[in-house]
Amino acid sequence: MTDPAIETLLAEERRYPPPEEFSEQANAKADIYDIPFEEFWEREGRERVTWFEPFSSLLEWELPYAKWYLGGKINVAYNCLDRHVEAGLGERVAYYFEGEPVGERAPITYSQLLEEVVKSANGLKALGVGKGTPVGIYMGMGPGLPVAMLACARLGAPHTVVFGGFSAEALADRLNDMRCEILLTQDEGWRRGQTVPLKKNADEALESCPGVRKVVVGQRTRAEVPMTKGRDISWSELVEGQSSDAASCPCEPMDSEDLLYLLYTSGTTAKPKGIAHTTAGYLVGAATTHHYVFDLKPDTDVFWCAADIGWVTGHSYIVYGPLCNGATSVLYEGTPDFPDKDRWWDIVERYGVTILYTAPTAIRAHMKWGPEHAEQHDLSSLRLLGTVGEPINPEAWIWYREHIGADRLPVVDTWWQTETGMIMLTPLPGVTTAKPGAATKPFPGVEAAVVDDRGQEVGPGGGGYLVLKRPWPAMTRGIFGDDERFRATYWERFPGMYFAGDGARVDEDGDFWLLGRVDDVMNVSGHRISTIEVESALVDHPSVAEAAVCGRADSLTGQAIVAFVTLKGSEEASVEMLDVLRNHVAVKIGPIAKPANIVFTPELPKTRSGKIMRRLLRDVAEERPLGDTTTLADPTVVAEIADRAVAQPAEE
């Protein structure tokens, strides 16, 4: 065996086989893994979606570009709305919309959603939007956002959704890169009791977007916002007098490979990449994974993906996957702690949520606040829990299962990316024995491996680079307008394989454990140590809610580990605690991983989607000026951490 590219130190022995009652009723049984890859995607392509014209060939693969379901004609909005209403399911709730201001609730059925989409699509048509017109969407988490996306899909107009928390500058970059002609936005949004000035930001952005000729402004808070004559029109004006009859605005028959949307991943330093997703493969991938991974029973489940639609998680598992499957979802506008820290659990109880999908960062926030908030509510409707977005520390996984999942629900840790479009590594809840911290197995039809620097597969237990070895339907069709960057970023490091940029290891059972971004790996005395393992060892201590580690230069060991630690609610930071935590890491995973410094901090710097920004922590640890902080959720956090870090001596 070759030297592992990343060492693995943490041994997690806990195992959770699926409960028998769950397995018996599960959508996926163990034999799903036996279906040959092409047969699997052929079947899903034929059965899970409705075609205007069936596809004639499954796959064309010319690395790095795949084409799926060629020759077919299909429309995403038709699959998400019309066909359900035609099948008599119009009265089913598509979204339970819960506004952030307490008491603002509005269930919206499939029929109502279809009517809204048709009216808006007719209005957009009147503005000259048609097949191929690029449309930007900059809205908050209300029903208007899926309506906007689906109206575009109905007309065949590709969209890019820009997260409502992004600045004017970020919005302008994206609108210009995609050459958007139309912007759909709203007056303001709500966030933690404050308003977010969406239209104001949009106006600022549009000063440098000459290509945008019309702006449609939805009304959420009904604040007075300036309207530019000739350019801006309110949503109510847009839809006034427009027919809501589906026949008045037939769904554009799209080729399978027509562009559905771009979603920009905010590169931490470089220009954002417009990740392209096309129509049929993306829809089949999102809907198929949604059906099997979340075991969706559309007539009884209430599904809640608590992400923002501005991220790919929301595209695939709030909008396209669930609606294609005829699911009932919760759509929540606000933050988990407004007005109180039990807001989520109130929502679960109120709507009888059965499946909850969230991120480790949210779970760790709830851990920090304490389980008493969940305990005030009846969570017995829940039957399945999921996570996505970062490696999950085993203790956070266990906390989630125990305090939210009554210590009995399956937890699915799903690994994927904006670029993959759909869940790629995941347990199947009725089949897989779960392990806290492991994303376990490739989804049926997906082939993944862990390789070393030379692209050779690393044996069981060894850490290395996660790669994907064959195409999948929802895979990105490239970076918009930048073929070279697409090849260089994902396809050149290991010829013939997609390089995800993540470290991982495979254990003796063939289960995958994610080790974080490879750029974050630390090198201590020649040992390549992943951040997640040291962080998980820290979070394993009962006083710790959250931890982030990074390497700083050290003359003796190459790099030394610096840990940033957030303690649980009532715990006090102290010199004794420093020693306790250092020793805890030494016992848990070995003295080599003992942090040289520990900095206690009430918050960690995170991106707006909740990922810890270790790059900035490295700047702090190295006492360098801070790099780009514009993608931080709260830029003040890092300055405070820097002050604390300076005050903290290193271990001898």
Residues that bind ligand PRX (CB under 6 A): 265, 312-313, 388-391, 413-418, 439, 500-502, 514, 517, 609
Q: Under a CB-based contact definition with an 8 Å cutoff, are residues 139 and 186 in contact?
A: yes
Q: Beta-carbon neighbour count of residue 62 at 10 Å? A: 8
Q: Work out how close the CB of 294 gets to ligand PRX at its nearest, in angstroms, rounded to a whole number.
A: 14
- Nearest to ligand PRX of 84, 517 (CB atom): 517
How far, in Å, CA of 297 to CA of 295, rounded? Answer: 7
User: What are the two backbone dihedrals, phi and then psi, of residue 566, each rounded to the nearest 5 degrees?
Assistant: -110, 125
Q: Could you write out the DSSP letters of every residue in 135-151? A: EEEE--SSTHHHHHHHH
- Give the DSSP letter string of 299-350: TT-EEEE-S-TTSHHHIIIIIIHHHHTT-EEEEE-S-TTSSSTTHHHHHHHH
Pairing of strands 597-600, 558-567: parallel
Residue whose CB is less far from ligand PRX, 112 or 417: 417
Closer of 312 and 450 to ligand PRX (Cβ): 312
Smaller CB separation from ligand PRX, 500 or 616 = 500
Q: Which is nearer to ligand PRX, 77 or 434 (CB)?
A: 434
Determine contact, residues 633/603, Cβ cutoff 8 Å. no
Q: Which is nearer to ligand PRX, 217 or 392 (CB)?
A: 392
| Least gap, CB of 532 to ligand PRX (angstroms) | 8
CB of 263 to ligand PRX, least distance (A): 9
Q: Nearer Cβ to ligand PRX, position 369 or 416?
A: 416
Longest dimension (CA), the chain: 75
CB 425, min distance to ligand PRX, A: 7
Indicate the residue among 147 and 396 with the shorter CB distance to ligand PRX.
Answer: 396
Does residue 440 sit in helix, strand or coil?
strand
In whole angstroms, give the CA distance from residue 28 to residue 384: 14
CA–CA gap between residue 549 and residue 612 (Å, rounded): 10
Distances from the Cα of 576 to the Cα of 579, 580, 582, angstroms? 5, 6, 10
Please provide the size of the chain in residues. 652
CB of 113 or CB of 355, closer to ligand PRX: 355
At its nearest, how many Å lie between ligand PRX and the CB of residue 462?
Answer: 18
Give the DSSP H or E segment for 637: helix 636-646
CB of residue 125 vs ligand PRX: minimum separation in angstroms?
A: 33
Contact predicate 121/154, CB 8 Å = yes
Residues near 339 by Cβ (< 8 Å), separated by ≥ 6? 102, 193
Q: How far is the CB of 359 from ligand PRX (least distance, A)?
A: 8
Angle CA 87–93–94, to nearest 5: 85
Residue 213 vs 485, nearer CB to ligand PRX: 485
Is residue 156 within 8 Å of 132, Cβ to Cβ?
yes
Q: Which is nearer to ligand PRX, 391 or 471 (CB)?
A: 391
428 Cβ contact list (under 8 Å, min separation 6): 26, 28, 32, 292, 293, 412, 441
Q: Where are the beta strands (DSSP E) in 110-193?
A: 135-138, 159-161, 182-186, 189-191
Residue 358 CB, shortest distance to ligand PRX, in Å, is 11
Shorter beta-carbon distance to ligand PRX: residue 5 or 514: 514
Element holding 57 (H helix, E strand): strand 57-62
Q: How far is the CB of 652 from ligand PRX (least distance, A)?
A: 35
CB of 605 to ligand PRX, least distance (A): 16
Q: Cis check for the bond before 391: say yes or no (omega within 30 of 0).
A: no
Q: Residue 7 or 116: which CB sits closer to ligand PRX?
A: 7
d(CA 59, CA 45): 11
Residues contacting residue 156 through CB under 8 Å, at least 6 positions apart: 75, 130, 131, 132, 252, 254, 258
What's the min distance (Å) between Cβ of 150 and ligand PRX?
21
We find the least distance from the C-beta atom of residue 238 to ligand PRX, in angstroms, to be 32
Helices of type H across 563-608: 575-589
Smallest distance, Å, CB 286 to ligand PRX?
12
Instruction: Compute the least distance from the CB of residue 243 to ligand PRX, in Å.
Output: 37
Tokens 């690393």 belong to 458
326 versus 471: smaller Cβ distance to ligand PRX: 471
